[in-house]
Amino acid sequence: MKSKIILFICTITILISASSLYAKQKISVLNVEGVINPVLAGYIVNGIDEATEKNSMALIIQIDTPGGLDKSMRIIIKKMLSSKVPIVVYVAPSGSRAASAGTFIILASHIAVMAPSTNIGAAHPVALGSGKMDEHMAKKVENDAVAYITSIAKKRGRNTKWAEEAVRKSVSISETEALKNGVIDLIAANLPELIKKIDAKKITINNATTVLHTKDAEIELIEMKWREKFLAVISDPNVAFLLIILGFYGLFFELSNPGVVFPGLVGAIALILGGYALQLLPINYAGLLLIILALVMFLLEIKVTSYGALTIGGIASMVVGSIMLIDSPFPFLRISLKIIIPTALATAGFFFFLFGAVIRTYQKRSVAGHEGLLDEIGTAEEDFDKTGRIFVHGEIWNAVSDTPLKKGEAVKVIKVEGLKLFIIKHKEV
């Protein structure tokens, strides 16, 4: 009986092992598009962890990037180099690129693949933030980048000489040149072709060789979580700029009309989100101060008669400040003029016309209550000397006059005390 139980357990174990052996393997896919920043770094790092937990046969990172932040790039590469899952970096679709930080990332992959009509390179480090590096510091940064990229290329068995030139000379090459020079491993037109070409390919991970079986593998896309998608949107320099402007609007409304709450709440949230986004970017504080100065000028235009000079100054200050706000040589990290100019004009128009009209309305004399009776024209309801009754503003009031009045005479209200009106003959005005 005991031997039968043991035989049964062994049979079940063999069947389970066989089913897992012949089960469809999974290939995880990440779609990375845009500037390499902390949000995309988190997405890639979490994607590698998820692929590891799912025991995926491989992880494909489809990438199209103009580059990005050095710190985020290093976080990604550190995770890639320690990954237990084979990582394939695929520059696709056609027309995509792996420039700057993207060059480092593709060189760090176990298998580097590019689609037709794509390019890689131009990895020279550029200073971010206000000011420029002196020659000595620039050389140190360049040498550090060269040492980093060549060590990655050497570890993955790729062309170290080209890697160095990509940094020192900002060399950029097409997919055919990259394959010819030993920078990448394959060219594939699409994902199915890529999966077919990497089938049976040997990968070394932690000194152990693994053979990929991807021919019939099941593709599973790892999408960004809602939090990552939201942070990716607000991290865009244009969105960050609009959030800051919206934040100023909201707080200004709240300070102008205490107790409304909603504008202040929206403004505070917008400023916090904008501040989070701006901390990811190289900020020039002179640009930020110019934007604040522009808002002050727009406010003064409401109170001070400048014949449009303050509005013109405010527009100029906002445009220049917005251009200076993101201090980066990379176009993809700067705020677009298509956003700056309409925002400056809309802000000027808002303060000059809309809010100015509101202020002027508040400054008008009240037409309700006792204040609404001042300067109103009425008629005497009776003959009276000193005191009597008059009809004014649709009502009959007790009135006091320094001169005698006859019934039907026109009168003008010059003062209100409680329920008593002080009047004069209208013809005396």
- pLDDT tens, N- to C-terminus, the chain (429 residues): 555 555 555 555 544 444 444 456 889 999 999 889 888 999 999 999 999 999 999 999 999 999 888 889 999 999 999 999 999 999 999 999 999 999 999 999 999 999 999 999 988 776 544 445 567 777 888 899 999 999 999 999 999 999 999 999 989 999 999 999 999 999 999 999 999 999 989 888 878 888 888 888 889 999 988 888 888 888 788 888 888 888 888 877 777 677 767 878 888 888 888 888 877 676 777 888 888 888 788 777 666 766 667 778 888 888 888 888 876 666 666 788 888 888 888 877 776 676 656 566 655 555 555 666 777 888 888 887 788 888 887 788 888 888 888 888 888 888 887 778 788 887 754
Clarify whether residues 214 and 281 are in a common domain. no
In-domain check, residue 386: yes
Clarify whether residues 291 and 401 are in a common domain. no
From 315, 343, 363, give the residue that closes a domain.
363
In-domain check, residue 246: yes
Tally of CB atoms within 10 A around 205: 14
Clarify whether residues 90 and 198 are in a common domain. yes
Clarify whether residues 348 and 418 are in a common domain. no
- Residues with active-site annotation: 100, 140
Quick one: pLDDT at residue 4? 52
Clarify whether residues 58 and 170 are in a common domain. yes
Give tens-digit pLDDT for 274-297: 888 877 676 777 888 888 888 788
In-domain check, residue 189: yes
Quick one: pLDDT at residue 6? 56
Q: In which domain, by residue range, is 388 found?
A: 370-428
CATH number at residue 424: 2.40.50.140
Clarify whether residues 337 and 412 are in a common domain. no
Token pair recorded at residue 155: 């570890």
Tally of CB atoms within 10 A around 85: 24
In-domain check, residue 1: no
Q: How far is residue 149's CA from residue 143's CA, in Å, rounded to a whole number?
A: 10
Quick one: pLDDT at residue 2? 54
Quick one: pLDDT at residue 429? 43
In-domain check, residue 264: yes
Give tens-digit pLDDT for 335-356: 888 888 888 888 777 766 766 5
In-domain check, residue 123: yes
Clarify whether residues 152 and 179 are in a common domain. yes
Quick one: pLDDT at residue 320? 86
CATH number at residue 126: 3.90.226.10
Clarify whether residues 80 and 213 are in a common domain. yes
Clarify whether residues 277 and 400 are in a common domain. no
Clarify whether residues 264 and 409 are in a common domain. no
In-domain check, residue 11: no
From 343, 363, 383, give the residue that closes a domain.
363
The CA-atom distances, in angstroms, between 286 and each of 291, 298, 345 are 9, 19, 21
Give tens-digit pLDDT for 35-77: 898 889 999 999 999 999 999 999 999 999 998 888 899 999 9
Number of independent structural domains in the chain: 3
From 363, 389, 417, give the residue that closes a domain.
363
In-domain check, residue 6: no
Clarify whether residues 128 and 218 are in a common domain. yes
Quick one: pLDDT at residue 347? 76
Clarify whether residues 340 and 400 are in a common domain. no
